[in-house]
Amino acid sequence: MPSSPDHHKGIAPHQCGQCCTHIDKISVTLDRNPIIEDVSLHLHCGELTTIVGPNGAGKSTLLKALLGEVAHTGAIHFHPVFGPDREDAPAIGYVPQSLDFDRFSPFSVSDLFAASLSRYPVPLGCRPDVRKSALAALASVEAECLLDRKLGKLSGGELQRVLLALSLTPLPNLLLLDEPVSGIDLPGRELFYRTVSELRHKFDLSILMVSHDLAGIAPVSDRIVFLDRRVVCIGTPAEVLVNGDFRHAFGLDLEDRP
Amino acid sequence: MSQLIDLLSALPFEWARYGFMRNALVAVVLVSPLFAIMGTLVVNNRMAFFSDAIGHASLTGLGLGVLLGLADPLLALVAFSMFLGIGILVLHRVTRSSMDTIISLCMSFSIALGIVLLSRGGNFNRFSHYLIGDLLSITPQEIGWLLLTLLVVGGGLLFFYNRILLIGLNDSLARSRGLNTWWIQVFFVASIVMVVTMNLSWVGILIINSMLILPAAAARNLAGNTRQYVFFAIAIALVSGVCGLLISYYSDTASGATIVLVAMGFYFLTLVIKALRHQ
């Protein structure tokens, strides 16, 4: 089982609640088109923040900027509560939208963990300690039984849980989930949300999720950010769900009319 | 090196009496595992078209070597292929066009340029042995070079195996694990170039890519994880290499192409095994 991150040492889960990540006026321009402008967010430990917004609103781009994949202006600060400031190398866990990979590849779940966690060449076999931490990580998402399965043979929901387990090893400062449930059936979605929700409290994780699934995210999110190139509104699910711009963008205002 | 190889003449076979066959056998046994390990990564990372292009582009390297008046065009060949390989990566990154379009463009350019350079004065036939390859002409000194390539590139590949594997699976995921995907890709491309160009003169431009791809493609049909994948690929490469060489001796055919045909046979065999397992 992964232990608590360094900066949470001595703090019981649920109690930290402090600002772990400051996103300060991030802007991304691609081919002279502004994709996102002046996005500022404060992410807290033990909180799940969900970004919603129409297609092309720049949701995935924001995650890519956080991952350092696209050039951006503005700054991202990571604030560990205890210990030295480690702003240069924060541990970011990432679960991609849908893993675009070769499904016929003989690549097992255990290979994925071994390749990610150790430099001992996978063709020479998996070290027992790596196998042990892989099993522990999989256990935290109720997926121990998947360790020796081929990655290409997993269902969408199983694959996302495996990727979630991988993103938790080692335990990150910030966990990014990019539309983690797109293309997963309803029971799979519910299990995924429940798991993420539990992990948030258990490890006092700061989680940023992009989602289209309005109905599914409202009950599990602590905060919702409505993004349309810039932050249009931000608040608790109850606050955002009654926002006029938000209801208009998702066609909910049609239901409001008599 | 040559004394060691001569020990093989103690074998009770007709072919073992010939120096060229002993050299060829040692070369095959040395190089097959390297081809197999590299092939597993090339197939996984969807680089089969890339390695094919590197093989074909070597025509231009040869042409440049001849133009510069080098006695052995190998240096020009390695240099040009390296330039082209890294060039394809850079173009892909800068233009954001799809990889296969860029590879196709670069390959057409370098094949055309290579043919123009080599056919100057109407003497293209002089170079046709590069197309088919001549395994039986390999010398103990060249085997020494192969051994060095095997140790350097093979060691490097094993050292970076996990990282290359992750990049092939998903670039963003690899990056989020803190990998410098660009430099790992450059290393991988450079090692493909080394392996392809160093073995070109005895395997032949036309079929070198099959030597790389076929064992891995066959092993995929049988393997359930990466360890089995690499193990089967090495086994298939070794067996088809040795069998192909011996068949070519008795049937008096080009060795490289015969090896490829045997590997192809293994590929179909694994397809059948896979189909039977699913029943």
Torsion angle of C-alpha atoms B163, B189, B131, B98, degrees rounded to 10: 100
Selected residue with higher pLDDT from B152 and B17: B152
| pLDDT value at B45 more than 50 | yes
Kindly give the interhelix angle for B48-67 and B208-220, rounded to the nearest 10 degrees. Answer: 170
What chain B residue is nearest to A176 in terms of C-alpha separation?
Answer: B176
Query: A95: part of which helix (H) or strand (E)?
Result: strand A92-95
Q: Do B177 and A110 touch (CB under 8 A)?
A: no
Reported as a single tens digit per residue, the pLDDT across A29-73 is 888 888 888 888 888 888 899 998 888 888 888 888 888 888 888
A92-95 and A174-178 as β-strands: parallel, antiparallel, unpaired? Answer: parallel
User: What's the pLDDT score for residue A88?
Assistant: 40
Is the distance from CB of A227 to CB of A58 less than 8 angstroms?
Answer: yes
User: What's the pLDDT score for residue A79?
Assistant: 66
Give the whole-angstrom CA distance, residue A36 versus residue A228: 8
User: What's the pLDDT score for residue A258?
Assistant: 57
- Percent pLDDT > 70 in chain A is 86
pTM score of the predicted model? 0.85
Is the distance from CB of B241 to CB of B30 less than 8 angstroms?
Answer: no
| pLDDT value at A87 more than 50 | no
Residues in B whose CB is inside 8 Å of some CB of A read 37, 40, 44, 46, 158-159, 161-163, 165-166, 169-170, 172-173, 175-178, 219-220, 223-231
Mean pLDDT value across chain A: 81
Looking at mean pLDDT, say which of A101-105, A220-224, B164-168, B230-234 comes out highest. Answer: B230-234
User: Where does residue B66 rank: exposed (0-12), middle (13-18), buried (19+ CB within 10 A)?
Assistant: middle
Across B225-241, average pLDDT: 95
Cβ neighbours of residue A157 closer than 8 Å, sequence gap 6 or more: A184, A185, A187, A188, A189, A191, A192
pLDDT confidence tier of residue A2, bands split at 50, 70 and 90:
very low
| Tokens encoding B161 | 């195996």
User: What's the pLDDT score for residue A25?
Assistant: 87
Selected residue with higher pLDDT from B165 and A257: B165
Across B157-174, average pLDDT: 90
Kindly give the interhelix angle for B140-169 and A109-117, rounded to the nearest 10 degrees. Answer: 100
Tell me the nearest-neighbour CA distance from B64 into chain A, angstroms: 38
Q: Token pair 């995650």 is at which residue?
A: A63
Q: Do B173 and A68 touch (CB under 8 A)?
A: no
pLDDT confidence tier of residue A179, bands split at 50, 70 and 90:
confident
| pLDDT value at A75 more than 90 | no
| pLDDT value at A149 more than 90 | yes
Give the whole-angstrom CA distance, residue A62 versus residue A177: 12
Closest by CA position to B111, among listed B124, B123, B122: B124
Give the whole-angstrom CA distance, residue B79 versus residue B178: 31
Cβ neighbours of residue A17 closer than 8 Å, sequence gap 6 or more: A44, A45, A46, A47
Query: Cα–chain-centroid distance for residue A76?
Result: 16
pLDDT confidence tier of residue B114, bands split at 50, 70 and 90:
confident
ipTM of predicted complex: 0.85
| pLDDT value at A121 more than 50 | yes
| pLDDT value at A7 more than 60 | no
Is the distance from CB of B110 to CB of B59 less than 8 angstroms?
Answer: yes
| pLDDT value at A10 more than 60 | no
Q: Token pair 């081919």 is at which residue?
A: A31
Looking at mean pLDDT, say which of A87-96, B117-126, B191-200 comes out highest. Answer: B191-200
DSSP B133-170: --GGG--HHHHHHHHHHHHHHHHHHHHHHHHHHHHHH-
| pLDDT value at B188 more than 90 | yes
How far the first Cα of chain A sits from its last, in Å, is 53
Is the distance from CB of B171 to CB of A100 less than 8 angstroms?
Answer: no
Tell me the nearest-neighbour CA distance from A118 into chain B, angstroms: 8
Substitution target in A63, A98, A107 with the highest count of B β-carbons within 10 Å is A107
Across B48-61, average pLDDT: 88
User: What's the pLDDT score for residue A256?
Assistant: 61
| Helix, strand, coil percent content, chain B, rounded in steps of 5 | 85, 0, 15
pLDDT confidence tier of residue A3, bands split at 50, 70 and 90:
very low
pLDDT confidence tier of residue B8, bands split at 50, 70 and 90:
confident
Does the beta carbon of A64 lie under 8 angstroms from any beta carbon of chain B? yes
User: What's the pLDDT score for residue B15?
Assistant: 83
> SS3 for A3?
coil
| pLDDT value at B181 more than 70 | yes
Does the beta carbon of A129 lie under 8 angstroms from any beta carbon of chain B? no
Which parts of A162-247 are beta strand (E)? 174-178, 207-210, 223-228, 230-235
| pLDDT value at A12 more than 80 | no
Does the beta carbon of A107 lie under 8 angstroms from any beta carbon of chain B? yes
* CB nearest A115 (choices: B166, B172, B224): B166
Is the distance from CB of A121 to CB of B159 less than 8 angstroms?
Answer: yes
Q: Which of A162-166, A228-232, B70-74 has the lowest mean pLDDT?
A: B70-74
Substitution target in B226, B228, B229, B274 with the highest count of A β-carbons within 10 Å is B226
Substitution target in B169, B230, B270 with the highest count of A β-carbons within 10 Å is B169
* CB nearest B176 (choices: A94, A115, A150): A94
Cβ neighbours of residue A111 closer than 8 Å, sequence gap 6 or more: A122, A126, A151, B165, B225, B226, B227
Selected residue with higher pLDDT from A21 and B217: B217
Q: Do B166 and A118 touch (CB under 8 A)?
A: no
